């Protein structure tokens, strides 16, 4: 099973914000869409970073609530972790664990193709395990 299966189920739409958006604006986007991170994209649509709840919490803890008026570009994660839609789900779990990230940007042929969270990966792994258990159960019952 690969990332394409996850994207087929959840969709390929990616919520983005511009780098100049304030952290308070970005936090409203996170809350409105019930997501933990948002892709930060430049005027030409190029991905320049990721702004997450972790970035927000760290900024407020470090600098206080006044930081909320600063642009997301001041605190966003700039070192992007990417994969493509052919990446196996087990590899995604390894990438997320090794890089200590909860979100991976999916890029196919140089274009933004999706955004996958650890929750998406775990959900897919659980579905796969349940399907395998059902198949084994059916096999045993017919044997």
pLDDT at position 143: 67
pLDDT averaged over 10-residue windows placed end to end, the chain, 143 residues: 89 93 96 95 91 94 93 94 93 93 92 91 81 81 76
CATH of the domain at 83: 3.10.580.10
* Domain span at 47: 3-142
Instruction: Return d(Cα 37, Cα 2) in angstroms, integer.
Output: 22
Domain count across the chain: 1
Q: Which residues contact 69 (CB under 8 A, 6 or more apart)?
A: 22, 23, 24
Instruction: Return d(Cα 136, Cα 116) in angstroms, integer.
Output: 29
pLDDT at position 49: 95
Report which secondary-structure segment, H or E, holds 117: strand 111-117
pLDDT at position 139: 79
What is this structure's pTM? Answer: 0.83
Instruction: Return d(Cα 111, Cα 115) in angstroms, integer.
Output: 12
């Amino acid at each position: 099973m690969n990332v394409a299966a996850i994207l087929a189920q959840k969709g390929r739409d990616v919520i983005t914000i511009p780098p100049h958006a304030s952290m308070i604006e970005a936090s409203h986007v996170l809350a409105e869409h019930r997501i933990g991170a948002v892709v930060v994209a430049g005027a030409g649509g190029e991905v320049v970073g990721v702004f997450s709840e972790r970035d927000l919490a760290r900024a407020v803890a470090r600098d206080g609530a006044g930081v909320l008026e600063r642009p997301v570009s001041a605190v966003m994660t700039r070192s992007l972790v990417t994969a493509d839609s052919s990446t196996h789900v087990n590899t995604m779990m390894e990438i997320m664990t090794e890089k200590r990230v909860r979100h991976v940007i999916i890029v196919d042929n140089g274009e933004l193709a999706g955004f996958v969270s650890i929750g998406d990966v775990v959900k897919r792994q659980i579905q796969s395990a349940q399907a395998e258990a059902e198949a084994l159960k059916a096999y045993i019952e017919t044997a």
